[in-house]
């Protein structure tokens, strides 16, 4: 009987057996997690310790601080250089505009000089040889710019070739009405000095009083105490 039972246990017809752990599964998982954490901590410590031994992280903080300072210095130098470049560009633009303006003014002066030379040649051709006529007004013009301003132009010549220097003065008088009453006005500051040889062109702008209506402009060229020429322009 005992032999049959023993043989039955050794064959496939023997009863099933279950091997069970003395610890439950939650405790197993907790123990495994503790072991993994401990292993990771040991690995991290070994890594950091290895870096210290190799000298890789010895001066890292100092070098990082120094690099940040150098970056800040380079940025400041870059901003300064950019500011200087912008200022230089602005100065070059302003200088270029000034040169263009001066060139335009020079061309205008050359054109005016050429025109004056032409006028001088024209006037010289009109001068009679051996004439003894003194300075005279050849052109007087006036234009009302607004209710309070008037522009005037005057050309005075000496119709003699190789004429001596004329020393005299110019008197300009405006006449008309103001508020319905007769009104006159002279140059501010009195007579204007005249000093020229062949011809002289004069112009100016006068400020008019309120409600003044200019009807005529009279110019006189005076030498010493004698009136050499008089001309009136009517508006």
Q: Where are the domains of the chain?
A: 63-126, 136-234
d(CA 155, CA 226): 19
Structure-token pair, residue 195: 């000093």
What are the start-end ranges of the H helices in the chain?
Answer: 2-10, 25-54, 60-126
pLDDT in tens, 134-165: 788 888 899 998 888 999 998 888 877 777 88
pLDDT tens digits in sequence order for the chain, 235 residues long: 555 655 555 555 555 555 555 556 666 667 667 677 767 666 666 666 565 555 555 566 677 778 788 888 888 888 888 888 788 778 888 888 888 888 888 888 888 877 777 666 665 555 554 444 578 888 889 999 888 899 999 888 887 777 788 899 999 999 999 988 999 999 888 888 988 888 888 889 999 998 889 999 999 999 888 888 899 999 8
Which fold, 136-234? Immunoglobulin-like (2.60.40)
User: How many CB atoms within 10 Å of residue 185?
Assistant: 19
pTM above 0.75, yes or no: no
């Amino acid at each position: 009987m005992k032999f049959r039972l023993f043989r039955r246990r050794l064959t496939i017809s023997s009863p099933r057996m279950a091997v069970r752990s003395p610890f439950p599964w939650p405790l197993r998982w907790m123990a495994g997690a503790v072991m993994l954490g401990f292993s990771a901590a040991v690995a991290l410590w070994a890594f950091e310790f290895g870096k210290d031994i190799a000298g890789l992280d010895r001066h890292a903080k100092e070098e990082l601080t120094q690099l940040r300072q150098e970056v800040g210095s380079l940025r400041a130098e870059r901003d300064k250089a950019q500011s200087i470049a912008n200022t230089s560009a602005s100065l070059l633009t302003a200088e270029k505009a000034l040169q263009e303006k001066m060139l335009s003014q020079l061309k205008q002066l050359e054109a005016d000089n050429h025109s004056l030379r032409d006028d001088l040649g024209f006037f010289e051709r009109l001068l009679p040889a051996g004439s003894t006529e003194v300075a005279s007004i050849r052109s007087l013009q006036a234009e009302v710019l607004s209710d309070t301003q008037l522009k005037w132009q005057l050309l005075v010549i000496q119709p003699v070739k190789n004429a001596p220097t004329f020393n005299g003065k110019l008197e300009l008088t405006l006449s008309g009405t103001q508020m319905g009453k007769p009104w006159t006005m002279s140059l501010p500051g009195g007579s204007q000095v005249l000093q020229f040889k062949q011809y002289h062109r004069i112009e100016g702008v006068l400020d008019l009083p309120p409600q003044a209506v200019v009807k005529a402009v009279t110019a006189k060229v005076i030498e010493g105490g004698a009136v050499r020429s008089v001309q009136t322009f009517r508006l």
